[in-house]
Protein backbone atom coordinates (compact mmCIF):
# COMPACT_ATOMS: atom_id res chain seq x y z
CA UNK A 1 0.00 0.00 0.00
CA UNK A 2 1.13 3.60 -0.60
CA UNK A 3 0.92 5.43 2.71
CA UNK A 4 1.57 9.04 3.70
CA UNK A 5 2.71 9.57 7.30
CA UNK A 6 2.52 12.99 8.94
CA UNK A 7 4.36 13.50 12.23
CA UNK A 8 6.54 15.85 14.26
CA UNK A 9 10.12 15.24 13.22
CA UNK A 10 11.70 16.09 16.57
CA UNK A 11 12.99 13.97 19.47
CA UNK A 12 9.48 13.52 20.97
CA UNK A 13 8.02 10.04 21.29
CA UNK A 14 5.24 10.58 18.75
CA UNK A 15 7.77 11.34 16.00
CA UNK A 16 9.85 8.33 17.01
CA UNK A 17 6.86 5.98 16.89
CA UNK A 18 5.70 7.36 13.52
CA UNK A 19 9.18 7.02 12.06
CA UNK A 20 9.76 3.50 13.37
CA UNK A 21 6.31 2.49 12.11
CA UNK A 22 6.99 3.91 8.66
CA UNK A 23 10.36 2.19 8.42
CA UNK A 24 8.88 -1.14 9.58
CA UNK A 25 6.09 -0.85 6.99
CA UNK A 26 8.64 -0.02 4.27
CA UNK A 27 10.57 -3.18 5.14
CA UNK A 28 7.29 -5.10 4.72
CA UNK A 29 7.00 -3.72 1.17
CA UNK A 30 4.72 -0.72 1.63
CA UNK A 31 5.66 2.57 -0.02
CA UNK A 32 5.99 5.16 2.76
CA UNK A 33 5.95 8.93 2.27
CA UNK A 34 6.89 11.04 5.30
CA UNK A 35 5.47 14.53 5.07
CA UNK A 36 6.76 16.97 7.67
CA UNK A 37 8.74 20.19 8.14
CA UNK A 38 12.17 18.59 8.56
CA UNK A 39 13.69 15.15 8.34
CA UNK A 40 12.52 13.02 11.29
CA UNK A 41 15.49 12.39 13.59
CA UNK A 42 15.34 8.62 13.39
CA UNK A 43 14.53 8.41 9.69
CA UNK A 44 17.02 6.51 7.52
CA UNK A 45 16.40 8.22 4.18
CA UNK A 46 18.29 5.84 1.97
CA UNK A 47 16.14 2.81 2.70
CA UNK A 48 14.02 1.07 0.10
CA UNK A 49 10.40 2.31 -0.16
CA UNK A 50 11.06 5.45 1.93
CA UNK A 51 10.28 8.94 0.62
CA UNK A 52 10.50 12.24 2.43
CA UNK A 53 8.65 15.42 1.44
CA UNK A 54 9.44 18.62 3.29
CA UNK A 55 6.72 21.12 4.08
CA UNK A 56 8.07 24.59 3.55
CA UNK A 57 6.35 27.59 5.12
CA UNK A 58 7.85 30.75 3.64
CA UNK A 59 8.20 33.71 5.98
CA UNK A 60 5.90 36.60 5.12
CA UNK A 61 6.06 39.82 7.13
CA UNK A 62 2.27 40.23 7.25
CA UNK A 63 1.85 37.03 9.28
CA UNK A 64 2.54 37.00 12.99
CA UNK A 65 2.35 33.18 12.84
CA UNK A 66 3.21 31.29 9.66
CA UNK A 67 0.22 29.17 8.48
CA UNK A 68 1.76 25.68 8.78
CA UNK A 69 -1.61 23.86 8.61
CA UNK A 70 -2.31 25.51 5.26
CA UNK A 71 1.10 24.62 3.84
CA UNK A 72 0.77 21.05 5.16
CA UNK A 73 -2.68 20.47 3.64
CA UNK A 74 -1.48 21.82 0.26
CA UNK A 75 1.59 19.60 0.41
CA UNK A 76 -0.59 16.62 1.30
CA UNK A 77 -2.89 17.14 -1.68
CA UNK A 78 0.03 17.61 -4.09
CA UNK A 79 1.99 14.62 -2.81
CA UNK A 80 -1.02 12.29 -2.60
CA UNK A 81 -1.87 13.10 -6.22
CA UNK A 82 1.71 12.92 -7.50
CA UNK A 83 2.41 9.49 -5.96
CA UNK A 84 -1.14 8.03 -6.03
CA UNK A 85 -1.02 7.60 -2.26
CA UNK A 86 -3.85 5.44 -0.94
CA UNK A 87 -3.97 6.20 2.77
CA UNK A 88 -3.04 9.01 5.14
CA UNK A 89 -1.85 8.33 8.70
CA UNK A 90 -1.45 11.42 10.87
CA UNK A 91 0.28 11.27 14.23
CA UNK A 92 -0.82 13.91 16.72
CA UNK A 93 -4.18 15.58 16.45
CA UNK A 94 -2.80 19.12 16.42
CA UNK A 95 -2.66 20.35 13.70
CA UNK A 96 -2.13 17.21 11.65
CA UNK A 97 -5.64 15.75 11.83
CA UNK A 98 -7.04 19.19 11.05
CA UNK A 99 -4.76 19.70 8.01
CA UNK A 100 -5.37 16.09 6.94
CA UNK A 101 -9.12 16.59 6.95
CA UNK A 102 -8.77 19.69 4.73
CA UNK A 103 -6.57 17.71 2.33
CA UNK A 104 -9.15 14.92 2.25
CA UNK A 105 -11.92 17.38 1.37
CA UNK A 106 -9.86 19.02 -1.39
CA UNK A 107 -9.05 15.61 -2.87
CA UNK A 108 -12.68 14.55 -2.77
CA UNK A 109 -13.49 17.53 -5.02
CA UNK A 110 -11.29 15.83 -7.60
CA UNK A 111 -12.88 12.40 -7.11
CA UNK A 112 -10.02 11.05 -4.96
CA UNK A 113 -11.11 9.27 -1.77
CA UNK A 114 -8.38 8.92 0.79
CA UNK A 115 -8.96 7.43 4.24
CA UNK A 116 -7.34 9.19 7.19
CA UNK A 117 -6.14 7.46 10.36
CA UNK A 118 -5.40 9.69 13.35
CA UNK A 119 -3.16 8.41 16.14
CA UNK A 120 -3.42 10.27 19.44
CA UNK A 121 -0.18 10.40 21.41
CA UNK A 122 -0.93 12.27 24.61
CA UNK A 123 0.04 15.91 24.76
CA UNK A 124 -2.22 16.56 21.77
CA UNK A 125 -5.05 15.55 24.11
CA UNK A 126 -4.09 16.08 27.75
CA UNK A 127 -1.89 19.17 27.63
CA UNK A 128 -2.62 21.15 24.48
CA UNK A 129 -5.69 19.72 22.80
CA UNK A 130 -8.01 20.26 25.72
CA UNK A 131 -7.18 23.96 25.93
CA UNK A 132 -10.35 25.97 25.19
CA UNK A 133 -8.55 27.68 22.29
CA UNK A 134 -8.11 24.35 20.50
CA UNK A 135 -10.81 22.03 21.85
CA UNK A 136 -13.44 22.71 19.15
CA UNK A 137 -11.09 22.07 16.24
CA UNK A 138 -9.48 19.06 17.92
CA UNK A 139 -12.86 17.44 18.64
CA UNK A 140 -13.95 18.11 15.07
CA UNK A 141 -10.85 16.63 13.47
CA UNK A 142 -10.89 13.51 15.67
CA UNK A 143 -14.55 12.93 14.81
CA UNK A 144 -13.85 13.44 11.10
CA UNK A 145 -10.98 10.93 11.01
CA UNK A 146 -11.88 7.61 9.38
CA UNK A 147 -10.15 5.68 12.17
CA UNK A 148 -8.75 6.88 15.47
CA UNK A 149 -6.16 5.11 17.57
CA UNK A 150 -4.65 5.90 20.97
CA UNK A 151 -1.33 4.60 22.29
CA UNK A 152 -2.72 3.36 25.63
CA UNK A 153 -6.00 2.43 27.28
CA UNK A 154 -5.55 5.36 29.61
CA UNK A 155 -5.24 7.80 26.70
CA UNK A 156 -8.35 6.35 25.05
CA UNK A 157 -10.36 6.76 28.27
CA UNK A 158 -8.98 10.24 28.89
CA UNK A 159 -9.89 11.30 25.35
CA UNK A 160 -13.48 10.08 25.82
CA UNK A 161 -13.65 11.87 29.17
CA UNK A 162 -12.26 15.19 27.89
CA UNK A 163 -13.89 15.49 24.45
CA UNK A 164 -17.23 14.76 22.88
CA UNK A 165 -15.97 11.91 20.69
CA UNK A 166 -18.41 10.05 18.44
CA UNK A 167 -15.81 7.73 16.96
CA UNK A 168 -14.54 4.44 18.31
CA UNK A 169 -10.96 4.83 19.52
CA UNK A 170 -8.88 1.69 19.05
CA UNK A 171 -5.93 1.15 21.37
CA UNK A 172 -2.75 0.27 19.50
CA UNK A 173 0.15 0.54 21.93
CA UNK A 174 3.57 1.85 21.01
CA UNK A 175 6.15 -0.74 20.05
CA UNK A 176 9.84 -1.45 19.86
CA UNK A 177 11.92 -3.87 17.84
CA UNK A 178 13.14 -6.27 20.53
CA UNK A 179 15.32 -8.16 18.09
CA UNK A 180 17.27 -4.98 17.40
CA UNK A 181 17.91 -4.55 21.12
CA UNK A 182 19.02 -8.15 21.48
CA UNK A 183 21.48 -7.66 18.62
CA UNK A 184 22.74 -4.41 20.14
CA UNK A 185 23.19 -6.10 23.50
CA UNK A 186 25.90 -8.25 21.88
CA UNK A 187 27.96 -5.12 21.18
CA UNK A 188 30.45 -4.03 23.84
CA UNK A 189 28.98 -1.70 26.45
CA UNK A 190 31.65 -0.06 28.54
CA UNK A 191 30.16 1.03 31.89
CA UNK A 192 33.53 2.37 32.99
CA UNK A 193 33.07 5.26 30.53
CA UNK A 194 30.45 6.66 32.89
CA UNK A 195 30.78 5.06 36.32
CA UNK A 196 32.94 3.07 38.71
CA UNK A 197 32.21 -0.66 39.03
CA UNK A 198 30.61 -0.10 42.44
CA UNK A 199 28.26 2.64 41.23
CA UNK A 200 24.64 2.20 40.19
CA UNK A 201 23.78 3.99 36.93
CA UNK A 202 20.51 5.91 36.90
CA UNK A 203 19.21 7.28 33.60
CA UNK A 204 16.55 9.66 32.37
CA UNK A 205 15.69 10.54 28.76
CA UNK A 206 13.19 13.25 27.84
CA UNK A 207 12.63 16.68 26.40
CA UNK A 208 12.93 18.24 29.87
CA UNK A 209 9.50 19.87 29.84
CA UNK A 210 7.81 20.69 33.16
CA UNK A 211 5.62 17.59 32.78
CA UNK A 212 8.73 15.37 33.17
CA UNK A 213 9.44 16.65 36.72
CA UNK A 214 13.19 16.49 36.23
CA UNK A 215 13.84 18.09 39.62
CA UNK A 216 12.23 15.01 41.25
CA UNK A 217 14.84 12.94 39.45
CA UNK A 218 17.73 14.94 40.87
CA UNK A 219 16.12 14.83 44.33
CA UNK A 220 15.70 11.02 44.19
CA UNK A 221 19.24 10.61 42.95
CA UNK A 222 20.71 12.84 45.67
CA UNK A 223 18.89 10.86 48.37
CA UNK A 224 20.11 7.51 47.02
CA UNK A 225 23.63 8.80 46.54
CA UNK A 226 23.88 9.61 50.25
CA UNK A 227 23.72 5.87 50.96
CA UNK A 228 24.92 4.18 47.80
CA UNK A 229 27.49 5.46 45.28
CA UNK A 230 25.72 6.21 42.01
CA UNK A 231 25.76 8.31 38.87
CA UNK A 232 22.86 9.88 36.97
CA UNK A 233 22.85 10.28 33.19
CA UNK A 234 20.38 12.85 31.88
CA UNK A 235 19.76 12.70 28.13
CA UNK A 236 17.79 15.41 26.31
CA UNK A 237 17.27 19.14 26.14
CA UNK A 238 14.45 21.35 27.26
CA UNK A 239 13.29 24.24 29.38
CA UNK A 240 13.66 22.51 32.77
CA UNK A 241 17.25 21.41 32.33
CA UNK A 242 18.58 24.55 33.95
CA UNK A 243 16.50 23.88 37.08
CA UNK A 244 17.76 20.30 37.28
CA UNK A 245 21.36 21.51 36.97
CA UNK A 246 20.80 24.13 39.66
CA UNK A 247 19.30 21.58 42.04
CA UNK A 248 22.14 19.13 41.41
CA UNK A 249 24.61 21.88 42.41
CA UNK A 250 22.57 22.75 45.50
CA UNK A 251 22.46 19.11 46.56
CA UNK A 252 26.21 18.72 46.03
CA UNK A 253 25.85 15.96 43.42
CA UNK A 254 26.62 17.94 40.26
CA UNK A 255 29.83 15.98 39.62
CA UNK A 256 27.77 12.77 39.68
CA UNK A 257 25.14 13.96 37.19
CA UNK A 258 26.02 13.90 33.51
CA UNK A 259 23.86 16.09 31.27
CA UNK A 260 24.43 14.78 27.75
CA UNK A 261 21.94 16.90 25.76
CA UNK A 262 20.01 15.48 22.81
CA UNK A 263 21.41 12.26 21.43
CA UNK A 264 20.73 9.82 18.64
CA UNK A 265 22.74 7.23 20.59
CA UNK A 266 20.31 6.59 23.41
CA UNK A 267 20.88 2.83 23.19
CA UNK A 268 24.55 3.35 24.05
CA UNK A 269 23.49 5.05 27.27
CA UNK A 270 20.68 2.65 28.11
CA UNK A 271 22.86 -0.43 27.59
CA UNK A 272 24.84 0.50 30.70
CA UNK A 273 22.02 1.77 32.85
CA UNK A 274 20.51 -0.01 35.86
CA UNK A 275 17.51 2.11 36.80
CA UNK A 276 15.47 4.43 34.58
CA UNK A 277 13.59 7.24 36.32
CA UNK A 278 10.37 8.67 34.85
CA UNK A 279 8.37 10.57 37.51
CA UNK A 280 6.21 12.52 34.99
CA UNK A 281 2.98 14.25 35.92
CA UNK A 282 1.45 13.24 32.53
CA UNK A 283 2.55 10.39 30.30
CA UNK A 284 0.17 8.74 27.87
CA UNK A 285 2.47 5.74 27.43
CA UNK A 286 6.14 6.39 28.25
CA UNK A 287 8.01 5.15 25.20
CA UNK A 288 11.29 6.15 26.85
CA UNK A 289 10.53 3.73 29.71
CA UNK A 290 9.77 0.95 27.24
CA UNK A 291 13.06 1.58 25.42
CA UNK A 292 14.84 1.39 28.77
CA UNK A 293 13.09 -1.91 29.56
CA UNK A 294 14.12 -3.35 26.20
CA UNK A 295 17.66 -2.47 27.26
CA UNK A 296 17.23 -4.54 30.41
CA UNK A 297 16.80 -1.58 32.72
CA UNK A 298 14.48 -1.51 35.75
CA UNK A 299 12.07 1.45 35.84
CA UNK A 300 10.88 3.63 38.70
CA UNK A 301 8.03 5.76 37.43
CA UNK A 302 5.02 7.70 38.52
CA UNK A 303 1.53 6.29 38.00
CA UNK A 304 0.60 9.04 35.53
CA UNK A 305 -1.50 8.20 32.47
CA UNK A 306 -0.54 4.97 30.74
CA UNK A 307 2.71 4.37 32.65
CA UNK A 308 1.27 1.52 34.76
CA UNK A 309 0.38 -0.26 31.49
CA UNK A 310 4.08 -0.31 30.62
CA UNK A 311 5.96 -0.44 33.93
CA UNK A 312 4.57 -3.23 36.11
CA UNK A 313 4.78 -2.47 39.83
CA UNK A 314 7.10 -4.80 41.77
CA UNK A 315 7.89 -6.72 38.59
CA UNK A 316 9.71 -4.48 36.09
CA UNK A 317 10.33 -1.79 38.70
CA UNK A 318 8.10 0.36 40.88
CA UNK A 319 5.16 2.67 40.25
CA UNK A 320 4.47 5.53 42.70
CA UNK A 321 2.10 8.47 43.05
CA UNK A 322 3.15 11.55 41.08
CA UNK A 323 5.43 13.68 43.27
CA UNK A 324 6.07 10.99 45.89
CA UNK A 325 9.82 11.51 45.88
CA UNK A 326 10.12 9.87 49.29
CA UNK A 327 8.69 6.55 48.07
CA UNK A 328 10.56 6.65 44.75
CA UNK A 329 13.84 7.24 46.61
CA UNK A 330 13.11 4.36 48.99
CA UNK A 331 12.48 2.00 46.06
CA UNK A 332 15.57 3.27 44.23
CA UNK A 333 17.74 2.66 47.29
CA UNK A 334 16.20 -0.78 47.80
CA UNK A 335 17.21 -1.74 44.25
CA UNK A 336 20.63 -0.13 44.56
CA UNK A 337 21.37 -2.13 47.72
CA UNK A 338 20.00 -5.50 46.58
CA UNK A 339 21.85 -6.69 43.49
CA UNK A 340 19.77 -9.88 43.20
CA UNK A 341 16.52 -7.94 43.22
CA UNK A 342 17.93 -5.45 40.72
CA UNK A 343 19.03 -8.27 38.44
CA UNK A 344 15.58 -9.92 38.63
CA UNK A 345 13.78 -6.69 37.80
CA UNK A 346 16.13 -5.91 34.93
CA UNK A 347 15.48 -9.37 33.48
CA UNK A 348 11.72 -8.98 34.01
CA UNK A 349 11.87 -5.60 32.26
CA UNK A 350 13.21 -7.09 29.06
CA UNK A 351 10.73 -9.98 29.17
CA UNK A 352 7.82 -7.63 29.80
CA UNK A 353 8.90 -5.35 26.95
CA UNK A 354 8.14 -8.23 24.60
CA UNK A 355 4.43 -7.42 25.00
CA UNK A 356 5.18 -4.45 22.78
CA UNK A 357 7.38 -6.15 20.21
CA UNK A 358 7.20 -4.79 16.68
CA UNK A 359 5.98 -8.03 15.03
CA UNK A 360 3.01 -8.03 17.44
CA UNK A 361 1.94 -4.44 16.84
CA UNK A 362 2.74 -3.47 13.23
CA UNK A 363 0.31 -6.06 11.73
CA UNK A 364 -2.48 -4.43 13.79
CA UNK A 365 -1.80 -1.19 11.91
CA UNK A 366 -1.73 -3.06 8.59
CA UNK A 367 -5.14 -4.61 9.29
CA UNK A 368 -6.50 -1.20 10.26
CA UNK A 369 -5.19 0.33 7.02
CA UNK A 370 -6.74 -2.45 4.92
CA UNK A 371 -10.10 -2.05 6.58
CA UNK A 372 -10.03 1.77 6.29
CA UNK A 373 -9.05 1.53 2.64
CA UNK A 374 -11.82 -0.98 1.89
CA UNK A 375 -14.44 1.42 3.25
CA UNK A 376 -12.88 4.61 1.84
CA UNK A 377 -16.02 5.57 -0.07
CA UNK A 378 -18.01 5.72 3.16
CA UNK A 379 -17.83 8.49 5.77
CA UNK A 380 -16.66 11.03 3.20
CA UNK A 381 -18.66 13.86 4.78
O1 LIG B 1 6.24 13.79 26.17
C2 LIG B 1 7.07 13.53 25.30
O3 LIG B 1 8.17 13.06 25.55
C4 LIG B 1 6.80 13.83 23.87
C5 LIG B 1 5.42 13.39 23.47
C6 LIG B 1 5.18 13.60 22.02
O7 LIG B 1 4.18 14.20 21.77
O8 LIG B 1 5.93 13.18 21.16
O9 LIG B 1 5.26 12.04 23.85
C10 LIG B 1 3.93 11.53 23.89
O11 LIG B 1 3.86 10.49 22.90
C12 LIG B 1 4.72 9.37 23.17
C13 LIG B 1 4.59 8.39 22.02
O14 LIG B 1 3.29 7.91 21.90
C15 LIG B 1 4.38 8.74 24.52
O16 LIG B 1 5.23 7.67 24.79
C17 LIG B 1 4.52 9.81 25.62
O18 LIG B 1 4.10 9.24 26.86
C19 LIG B 1 3.66 11.01 25.30
N20 LIG B 1 3.91 12.10 26.26
C21 LIG B 1 2.96 12.51 27.12
O22 LIG B 1 1.85 12.03 27.18
C23 LIG B 1 3.38 13.61 28.04
pLDDT tens, residue by residue, 285-327: 999 999 999 999 999 999 999 999 999 999 999 999 999 999 9
Q: What percent of the chain has pLDDT over 90?
A: 80
**Same domain, yes or no: 151 and 183:** no
Residue 11: pLDDT above 70?
A: no
Residue 364 lies in a domain: yes
Residue 374: pLDDT above 70?
A: yes
CA of 283 to the centre of ligand 1 (A): 6
Is the CB of residue 100 less than 8 Å from the CB of residue 124?
no
The answer, yes or no, to whether any atom of ligand 1 lies below 6 A from the CB of 284, is yes
CA of 339 to the centre of ligand 1 (A): 31
What pLDDT score was predicted for residue 381?
Answer: 66
Which atom belonging to ligand 1 lies closest to the Cα atom of 17? 13
**Same domain, yes or no: 224 and 272:** yes
CA 258 – CA 243 distance, rounded (Å): 14
Is the CB of residue 169 less than 8 Å from the CB of residue 160?
yes
Summary mean pLDDT of the chain = 94
What pLDDT score was predicted for residue 380?
Answer: 60
Residue 154: pLDDT above 90?
A: yes
The answer, yes or no, to whether any atom of ligand 1 lies below 6 A from the CB of 301, is no
For the chain, give the longest Cα–Cα distance.
69
**Same domain, yes or no: 306 and 209:** yes
Q: How many residues does the chain have?
A: 381
Residue 94 lies in a domain: yes
Overall average pLDDT of the 92-100 stretch: 92
At 250 the three-state DSSP class reads helix
Overall average pLDDT of the 353-378 stretch: 95
Residue 245 lies in a domain: yes
**Same domain, yes or no: 222 and 100:** no
**Same domain, yes or no: 191 and 78:** no
**Same domain, yes or no: 246 and 366:** no
Supply the CATH number for residue 115's domain: 3.40.50.2000
Residue 379 lies in a domain: no
Overall average pLDDT of the 168-178 stretch: 97
Q: How many CA atoms lie within 13 A of 142 on its CB side?
A: 30
Phi, psi at 355, each rounded to 5°: -60, -25
**Same domain, yes or no: 41 and 105:** yes
CA of 308 to the centre of ligand 1 (A): 15
pLDDT tens, residue by residue, 269-294: 999 999 999 999 999 999 999 999 99
Residue 202: pLDDT above 70?
A: yes
Q: 241-250 and 214-227 helices cross at what angle (nearest 10)?
A: 30
Total domain count for the chain? 2
Is the CB of residue 106 less than 8 Å from the CB of residue 145?
no
**Cis omega (within 30 of 0) on the bond before 95?**
yes
**Same domain, yes or no: 24 and 151:** yes
Residue-wise DSSP of 310-377: HSPBTTTEEEE-TT-HHHHHHHHHHHHH-HHHHHHHHHHHHHHHGGGBHHHHHHHHHHHHHHHHHTTT
CA 50 – CA 179 distance, rounded (Å): 22
**Same domain, yes or no: 154 and 264:** no
**Same domain, yes or no: 340 and 202:** yes
**Same domain, yes or no: 40 and 182:** no
Q: Which domain holds residue 271?
A: 178-356
Residue 309 lies in a domain: yes
CA 269 – CA 232 distance, rounded (Å): 11
Neighbours of 260 (CB within 10 A): 16
pLDDT tens, residue by residue, 31-73: 999 999 998 887 877 789 999 999 998 888 888 888 999 999 9
Residue 143: pLDDT above 80?
A: yes
CA of 92 to the centre of ligand 1 (A): 10
CA 50 – CA 26 distance, rounded (Å): 6
Residue 33 lies in a domain: yes
Residue 17 lies in a domain: yes
**Same domain, yes or no: 197 and 339:** yes
pLDDT tens, residue by residue, 251-274: 999 999 999 999 888 888 999 999
What pLDDT score was predicted for residue 379?
Answer: 63
Among 7, 11, 20, 123, name the best residue to mutate to test ligand 1's pocket (greatest count of ligand atoms within 8 A of Cβ).
Answer: 123
Amino acid sequence: MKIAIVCYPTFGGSGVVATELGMALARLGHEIHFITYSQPVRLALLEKNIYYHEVDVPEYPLFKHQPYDLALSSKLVDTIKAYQIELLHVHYAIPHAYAGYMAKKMLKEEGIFIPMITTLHGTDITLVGSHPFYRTAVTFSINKSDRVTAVSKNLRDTTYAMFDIQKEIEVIPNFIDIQRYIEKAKEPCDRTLMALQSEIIFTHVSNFRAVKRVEDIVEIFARVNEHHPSVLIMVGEGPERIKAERLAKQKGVYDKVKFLGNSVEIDKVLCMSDIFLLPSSEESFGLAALEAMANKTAVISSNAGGLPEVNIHEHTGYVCEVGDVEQMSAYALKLAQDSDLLHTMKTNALESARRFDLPEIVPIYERLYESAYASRHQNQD
